Structure 1
Amino acid sequence: MATASRAVAGAHVALNASIGTGSLLAAGALQNAIFNSANFSIIATDDKGIIQLFNVGAERMLGYRAQEVVNRVSPSDMHDPQEVRARAEALSAELGTPIAAGFEALSFKASRGIEDIYELTYLCKDGTAFPAVVSITALRDDYGELIGYLLIGSDNSARKRAQLHLKEAVTAAERANLAKTEFLSSMSHELRTPLNAILGFAQLVASSTPVPTVAQQRSIDQILKAGWYLLELINEILDLALIESGKLIMSEEPVALSDLLSECQALVESQAVQREVGLNFVPMILPLHVKGDRTRLKQVLVNLLFNAVKYNRRAGHVDVDCTVLSPLVVRITVRDTGHGLSREQLAHLFQPFNRLGREAGIEEGTGIGLVVTQRLVHLMGGQIGVDSTLGVGSVFWVDLTLVAAPSTDHAAAWVPAGNALACAGETTRTMLYVEDNPANLALVEQIIERCPQLHLLSASDGHTGIEFARAYLPSVILMDINLPGISGIEAMRLLHADPATAHIPIIALSANAVPRDIQKGLEAGFFAYVTKPIRVAELLLTIERALAQANVAPQRPHAQAPS
């Protein structure tokens, strides 16, 4: 009993020592309030872990009366034994010391002067259970001798319920994001498939012989303009959705600014000439490299340049300059001589689908481009801003991180031949196209008809495509992804696994154009991934690259391709 009395006294001493003496403490009001608190379980034990004090809160939470547990049981008897055992095993692994389960596991750190807080499940007298947070502190006498432990516990049910609800909400949000991504991928495919026929055949008609009449060419130009604009809208909406869902894949590489700006200038020049807007790219004194995704950075700058031209005045001009702000930051500025923006318009500039009152104007747009541009810049660790004056014009600027130039020389990039499929030489080569959509097949057939060095075979499903590839050993294969039977990816894997066809370069030609679809296809082993709608020149150059590789691949005699 002397030990028990010392443990209870120790609990009082611990409280007294924390706040000193005073009239409140002298009257015992504070101790009474604490030990009679119904919101916290306060349990004091002796040095062996046997309960010596069991307050009102402990009685309320656990359902035991004090006289039922004092000098009878250990607090560990009221905890989930599996959790106590798991805690003992975790402490043993952490400290490299064998630790028995039970109260020793609960009090191990406290006995060594380490204040400990842990989460365990309390077991009540009536068989129910609830999660609790327990703080355990060692009690020592005036000589530093361990005389017991003080355990202060609180019901953790509300917090656990909140955590569970949060976890469920996060899971639901992730499922919704995944469903949205899958929907966008599917919708992109469904929209691109008819666009492929519209834009593909329009390109063929525009470059056909005899040359279209002036009236026909105007109609063709309108079809192409509307088609490419619709494709641009699809891409912008997909980009925005992917950014918001965190699914957009970005690379990080040193990008040469001078080369990138030259490419952007070439893309914008024709529109600038058409609108009588002058382009002035200030030459760079020193070569600069920035950190970013080259494709996405090009998208950012082209969008700013297109806007600067589109919303400019006739006979206006656009100036592009690069200024080094610090050893780590370069600023790219795009200055136009347009009508400028008001303070109110600037406040809403980067809001999705907000065209700043230009909905009734003649310029097409959705108000998505600048939003995507801003978020792409932020994803690359940069900043974007704008200064504008009504009646004078606007200056958009992008700050990017400067990095060192690549330290190693990479192999020279492949340079396309001057005329389509020049590397095919005089020998007729066979190309297999695996495609189940008749319009897409007819389009590629007409494209390949312009290449006398190529003979085209076609298959309408993956299994037939594999049989044709094994029988005729084509020099190159175009493979759709969504095929009946087996997918284009699976067909490609089977062909690569076959020694007879493993050397054949296979190009994915698909309307699955979401970045993760492209990455998945390239990682699976496609030679290249071309998206629909087809850009005829891009497809021909990709085929030429594949044929160049096929020239150095091993060949063996094969069956005569059907005519």
Structure 2
Amino acid sequence: MTQTEESFGFLSTLSTGKSERRLARGAVLASAAIFAVLLSFAKQPMPPAKTFVPVYGAVLAVNDLITAVLLFGQCVILRSNALYCLACTYLFAALMAIAHTLTFSNSLSGNGVLGAGPQTTVWLYVLWHAGFPLGVIAYAMHDRSQPRCAGTGRGRSVALGVFAVLVAVAVLTVASGDETLPALLGEQGYTFAMRVVSWSVWALCGAALLILWSRRPHSVLDMWLLVVMWAWLFDVGLSVVFNGGRFDLGFYAGRIYGGVAASFVLLMLLLEIGALYARLIDTRSRIAHKSGELQNLSAQLEMTNDMLADKNRQLREANRLKSEFLANMSHELRTPLNAIIGFSEVLKDGLVGDPESQREYLTDIFTSGQHLLALINDILDLSKIEAGKMSLDLEAVAVEPFLTNCLSIVKEKAAVHHIELKPEINKSLGTILLDQRKTKQIAYNLLSNAVKFTQDHGMVAMRARLVGRKEIENWSAAAETSVRRPLPPGDFSEFLEIAVVDNGRGIAPADAPRLFKAFSQIDSSLSRESEGTGLGLALVLELAKLHQGTVALASTPGYGSCFTVWLPRRDAADQAANLVELKPALHADTLPAARHVVLVIEDNAHAVELISMHLQPEGFRIVPAATARAALEILERLLPDLILLDIVLPDMDGWDLLAQLKRIDIQKGKVAEVPVVITSIEADAVRAQMLGAAKVLQKPYRREDLLWALKDIGLVGNPSLAEEKKRAAT
């Protein structure tokens, strides 16, 4: 069947549901129960009722004719051979009911309207009740998986006419040849021949029932035909099998069953027609509804166009902000570059001879370079986060000294403006797993902004404590401006809260939505009083989210602001088993008097020269290798005390070389025992630890960073006091 046919809900195409099966089962069980009760009284004589047979025949003929017409109508639509066969069967039953009524003696006339003999009606009943199950068997045996009939409407009309003529000939033959037929009805009731014929007809009804039952799956029409065949079986059983003759209880009861059987399919077809009309009304209503929906869609389309126009305005605004950011970045980048180029040119040309002036200019160059590096790092970090390429490098951090050290970073800048720095950090916070560099970025950006936007003689405080997830989710502030970004879902129940409070100018509610957006600043003019790129707070938010934390702001214009960051508490003990224990080759208190040898695997000559300047004063002899192949050749002759390895090499991936170094055995010892320090732009600390590296330094790095790394692995003593102070300040 096609989807369209099923959607119209024809009885011959619809699958049966639980409610239909329950109703049909109930009808069969009720009929069977009544049949069982009447069976013992089937031979009970009853008075003849002359009007019973005409009424019975008329009801059956009308029911079967209407059923046949309705089935022919469906056949025209569906063009089903099986349905056409069933329609002809019902037409046959209607014609036989008419013939049976017209030949029944003493009903409409003495010998019937057609003038038939005493055996004619009985034989018509037998042919009628044998022909109907044969038609049902023919319907059931048709292949309904291919419902379409190739025949034309004209051919079917001819076939219908031939069928009607055959029925008429059969009726006339039976009526005129009564003397030649075996006697089925005698003076004492049914003859032996009638018993044989009636049992045969009853068996044929049972066979039709079984064949129809076996042809699955059943449609709704099949199910009600099964009910009809059960009624037909009870009709024949009471009328001619288990009764004694005419006008007994079985005679009347069986024909009543026949009338009921003729009504089942007709009733279902009429209900189907009512349902089709209801569907037509519903379809019309749905068409009207769809028309309304189309109008709504048209309105939504207009709204979508308005939204697109709004998005275009937002894109233009984003482009404006980006252009503004680039113009601002041009200013921010050119300022330190101008200092670097200008002062280095003065030194290059020898225009300043005073060593103190030279030191001052070199300090300016160094400071400008650090500022430039910080700007570039902010841009690169934000790009890496947006691309999903940044991960956490967790390590155990003592929270109180770490945050106190972060506060000291802005000490000089705060002192210039006489701003008081107040540490209000809980000293019992202990050790927590954090990404130290990224957490330091968060703290520095918040502190730098607080100092930048606080007037002279103001106050900046840093607070830290542990809070629960519920406290964050229920966070609120009694401030004019209040914003909290959503906390990412997760299993963390406790968080480190870092808050930076100032009594500066504050932030208006209208400016709050722009704070955590990249390339966006409250004051965007190039002549503003405070420098900045507009990336700091955006980076704070993204780094907090990377930790699976969040940020919040509470501010009142004219009274100051409080920026809060929440980072999940990860206990250091939870990941101790995953940390690689790095054993130093030598200890500071047992340093040999001999000169240390450092193999520097680096393809950039300037980088090698810079490393030499850093390490030669500390008693190291530098052995350079520009390629991995050259390094391996050197290691065949020399076992160094330290290897400095750049990951980006011309002939081999540095990670592959590191793995190979940890497997090489040579005559003088094992290269795997030599500490390796990674010095590269690619600072993947986790991968380096897994491959056995002792330390990782990300380029560009300072001399004291290198010396502190060598101190940690036991190759140098403590750096100078001046270098230690510089390290604490940064």
TM-score interval w.r.t. the shorter chain?
A: 0.5 to 0.7
Match of 1:506 among 676, 694, 701: 676
Check if 1:543 corresponds to 2:545: no
Partner of 2:634: 468
* Counterpart Cα distance in 2 of 1:523 and 1:486: 19
Q: What is the alpha-carbon distance in structure 1 between the residues aligned to residue 377 and residue 515 of structure 2?
A: 20
In the TM superposition, residue 373 of structure 1 has moved relative to its aligned partner by: 0.8
Matched AA of 2:460: V
Q: Are 1:305 and 2:447 an aligned pair?
A: yes
Aligned-partner Cα distance in 2 for 1:252–1:526: 16
Match of 1:374 in 2: 541
Instruction: Map 1:153-302 onto structure 2 (within 5 A).
Output: 213-250=355-392, 256-284=398-426, 286-287=428-429, 293-302=435-444
Question: Counterpart amino acid of 1:532?
Answer: K
- Residues 356-365 or 392-401, more deviating: 356-365
Query: Does structure 1 retain, via aligned residues, the 8 Å contact 2:454–2:504?
Result: yes
Judged with a 3 Å threshold, the aligned counterparts in structure 2 of structure 1 residues 271 and 466 are, in CA distance, closer, same or farther, namely farther
| Aligned-partner Cα distance in 1 for 2:693–2:572 | 30
Report deviation, 1:409: 8.3
Q: Distance in 1 between matches of 2:604 and 2:693?
A: 20
- CA separation in 2, counterparts of 1:298 and 1:10? 77
Instruction: Provide the rounded CA distance (Å) in 2 between the counterparts of 1:258 and 1:139.
Output: 79
Q: Deviations over 1:107-137 (max 9, x none)?
A: xxxxxxxxxxxxxxxxxxxxxxxxxxxxxx9
Asked if 2 retains the 8 angstrom alpha-carbon contact of 1:423 and 1:548, the reply is no
Q: Distance in 2 between matches of 1:491 and 1:326?
A: 46
What SS does the aligned partner of 1:318 have? Answer: strand
Does the C-alpha gap of structure 1 residues 398 and 312 become closer, same or farther in structure 2, counting only changes over 3 Å?
A: same
Give the direction of change, closer, same or farther, for the CA distance of 1:213–1:357 in structure 2 (3 Å limit): same
> CA, structure 1 residues 212+436, in 2 after alignment: closer, same or farther (shift >3 Å)?
farther
Contact 1:291 1:380 in 2 (8 A): no
CA contact (8 A) 1:278 1:318 kept: yes
* Pairing 1:388–2:530 present: no
Identity of paired residues, percent? 26
Structure-2 residue corresponding to 1:532: 699
Asked if the contact 2:460–2:500 (Cα under 8 Å) also holds between the matched residues in 1, the reply is: yes
Matching residue's letter, 2:625: A
Structure with the largest fraction of strand = 1
| Structure-2 residue corresponding to 1:124 | none
User: How many residues are matched?
Assistant: 375
- In 2, distance between residues paired with 1:316 and 1:415? 48
Paired residue type of 2:663: A
Does the residue aligned with 1:375 lie in a helix, a strand or coil? Answer: helix
Cα distance between partner residues in 1 of 2:516 and 2:647:
36
Partner of 1:320: 462
CA distance in 2, matches of 1:423, 1:138: 95
Q: Quick one: which amino acid aligns to residue 444 of structure 2?
A: V
Amino acid paired to 2:382: L
Distance between the aligned counterparts of 2:654 and 2:149, measured in 1?
75
The separation in 2 between residues aligned to 1:353 and 1:321, in whole angstroms, is 28
CA distance 1:400–1:494, change in 2 (3 Å): closer
Tell me: CA distance 1:413–1:340, structure 2 relative to 1, closer, same or farther (3 Å). farther
CA shift in 2, pair 1:356/1:507, >3 Å: same
C-alpha distance 285-497 of structure 1, shift in aligned 2 (>3 A): closer
Give me the TM-score of the superposition, normalised by structure 1. 0.56
- Given the superposition, is the C-alpha separation of residues 507 and 288 from structure 1 closer, same or farther in structure 2, using an over 3 Å criterion? closer
1:459 aligned to 594, 612, 625, which one?
Answer: 625
Please give the per-residue CA displacement for 1:260-316, whole angstroms capped at 9, x wherever unaligned. 322322333343334432211114164366675444233212221122122222222
Change (3 A) 1:384 1:219: same
Letter in 2 for 1:218: E
3-state SS in 2 of match to 1:281: strand
Greater RCO (Cα-Cα under 8 Å, separation 6 or more)? 1
Instruction: Note if contact 2:425-2:465 (Cα within 8 Å) is conserved in structure 1.
Output: no
Which among 464, 486, 490 is matched to residue 656 of structure 2? 490
Deviations 1:30-57 (A, max 9, x none): xx9xx99xxxxxxxxx999x86267xxx
Residues 455 and 256 of structure 1: CA distance in aligned 2, closer, same or farther (over 3 Å): closer
Separation in structure 2 between the aligned mates of residue 421 and residue 538 of structure 1, nearest angstrom = 17
Match of 1:435 among 586, 602, 606: 602
Give the superposition deviation at 1:227.
0.9
For structure 1, the 5+ residue unaligned runs are 1-6, 22-27, 37-45, 55-65, 69-136, 146-190, 206-210, 550-563
- In the TM superposition, residue 430 of structure 1 has moved relative to its aligned partner by 1.0
How far has the Cα of 1:542 moved from its partner? 1.7
C-alpha deviation, 1:427, in angstroms: 2.2
Q: Which amino acid aligns with 1:347?
A: P
Q: 1:259 to 1:9 in 2, by over 3 A?
A: farther
Render the CA deviation track for 1:453-493: whole Å, top value 9, x for unaligned. x2111122221122112212111111222222223333333
Q: Distance in 1 between matches of 2:575 and 2:662?
A: 32
Aligned equivalents of 2:418 and 2:370: distance in 1? Answer: 22
Contact 1:430 1:456 in 2 (8 A): yes
1:523 Cα offset (Å) = 3.5
Retained in 2: the 8 A contact 1:290–1:400? Answer: no
More displaced stretch, 425-434 vs 488-497: 488-497
The 1:9/1:405 distance shift into structure 2, 3 A limit, reads same
CA–CA separation in structure 1 for the residues paired with 2:519 and 2:597: 48
Change over 3 Å in CA distance of 1:246–1:212 after alignment to 2 = farther
Question: Against the structure 1 CA distance between its residues 278 and 17, is the aligned structure 2 distance closer, same or farther, given a 3 Å change threshold?
Answer: same
What residue identity is the alignment partner of 2:624? S
Equivalent position amino acid for 1:455 in 2: R
Conservation of the 8 A alpha-carbon contact between 2:582 and 2:694: no
1:423-477 Cα shifts (integer Å, max 9, x gaps): 644221111112221211111111122113x211112222112211221211111
Q: CA deviation at 1:374?
A: 0.4
8 Å Cα contact 2:507/2:555 also seen in 1: yes
Q: Which amino acid aligns with 1:229?
A: H
Distance 1:262 1:499, change over 3 A: same
- Report the secondary structure of 2:665's partner residue: coil
CA–CA distance in structure 2, aligned partners of residues 387 and 366 of structure 1: 22
1:52 and 2:150 matched:
no
Q: Which residue number in structure 2 is paired with residue 12 of structure 1?
A: 14
- Assess if the C-alpha contact under 8 Å between 2:14 and 2:219 holds in 1: no
Aligned CA distance change for structure 1 residues 257 and 502 (closer, same or farther; 3 Å) = closer
Stretches of structure 2 lacking an aligned partner (at least 5 in a row): 1-8, 24-69, 79-138, 151-216, 227-332, 348-352, 470-493, 717-730
After superposition, give the CA deviation of every residue in 1:321-361 in whole Å (9 maximum; x if it has no partner): 23555474553321112222222322211111112225423
Structure 1 position 401, deviation (Å) = 4.0
In the alignment, the residues of structure 1 paired with residue 420 and residue 429 of structure 2 have an alpha-carbon distance, to the nearest angstrom, of: 24
Give the CA RMSD over aligned residues. 4.5
Partners of 2:703 and 2:218 lie apart in 1 by 79
